[in-house]
Structure 1
Amino acid sequence: MKQRLRIFMLACPLLCGTLTATAAPPTTEDLLNHSGFKEAYKAMITLPAWIVSGKGTSTPVEYVKQNGKTYALGHMCKPHDCAAQQLELVLATDHSGSWGLLSIKANNALKQTVLGSPTPEIEKVLRDAYTKNNPTD
């Protein structure tokens, strides 16, 4: 019985505190402004350095037309690791926007992240470019 009471007394601050607390739980924004959470959040949204700097192994661009506008379509990858990290990029030649498809392979799994909220047509251009640049996938 004493052992059970001791376990309860040790656990009570953790369990009882959350059950009887009258303060409202923090908001997501509150958590993201606290040390620890802030750093973890920044790490989650950070792009690889080769993408941020725009300094990767790249190929000459192609020009494509969509809905009467001209776009530059480019391909870039992480130096010395092209098979694992690639970026397809569409740049509006009038400088009105850019969109990307980041592809990262790890442990035989492919994770693709669309960047810049492209239209469905531009996203198709990005995905088709990835397929063209990776014919064995």
Structure 2
Amino acid sequence: MKQRLTVLTLACSLLCGTATAAPPTTQDLLETSGFKEAYKAMITLPAWVVSGKGTSTPVEYFTQNGKKYALGHMCKPHDCAAQQLELVLATDHSGSWGLLSIKANNALKQTILGSPSPEIEKALRDAYTKNNPPD
């Protein structure tokens, strides 16, 4: 309890501009109300991605370096043009990787998921291009 009170006091001091002690650490702020919720909102994936329930197409299989993978495409139901996920799944269940693409305000934001190898990342980006041909 004492540690939490200290963290809140430091956070308040920082925000009020009257810091009399060392500023809190990033971790300290992320443990306080308000900051904790804002941080969680920043790292939250869309519900359809988390649940794995979206509009999807049949997978294609490919082999790379002697290993077999499934390549799939899924999008947000009723909003496929704006929210899409390319997904590579190792058929031996050793890993999965994705490319989440979200269009908003005429801007495209793409987020790589799962730390893929350069070859898997290329497969994901190529799949996005294939599924979104230029007009």
TM norm structure 1: 0.85
Q: Which residue is equivalent to 2:31?
A: 33
CA RMSD between the two structures:
1.1
CA distance in 1, matches of 2:119, 2:31: 37
Number of the residue aligned with 1:73: 71
AA partner of residue 104 (structure 1): I
Counterpart position of 2:105: 107
Paired residue for 1:10?
A: none
Identity of aligned residues (%): 87
TM-superposed deviation, 1:129: 0.1
What secondary structure does 2:29 align onto? helix
Partner of 1:60: 58
Give CA deviations for 1:54-94 in whole Å, capped at 9, x if unaligned: 10000000001111100000000000000000000000001
Amino acid across the alignment from 1:67: N
Give the structure 1 partner of residue 122 of structure 2.
124
> Partners in 1 of 2:95 and 2:119 — Cα distance?
14
Q: Which residue of 2 aligns with 1:42?
A: 40
- Name structure 2 gaps, 5 residues minimum: 1-15
- Count matched residues: 120
1:24, distance to aligned residue in structure 2 (A): 1.4
Counterpart amino acid of residue 104 in structure 2: A
Q: CA deviation at 1:136?
A: 1.5
| Cα distance in 2, alignment partners of residues 79 and 136 from structure 1 | 22
Separation of aligned partners in 2, 1:104 and 1:82: 10
Moved over 3 A (4+): none
Is 1:89 paired with 2:87?
Answer: yes
* TM-score (norm: length of structure 2): 0.86
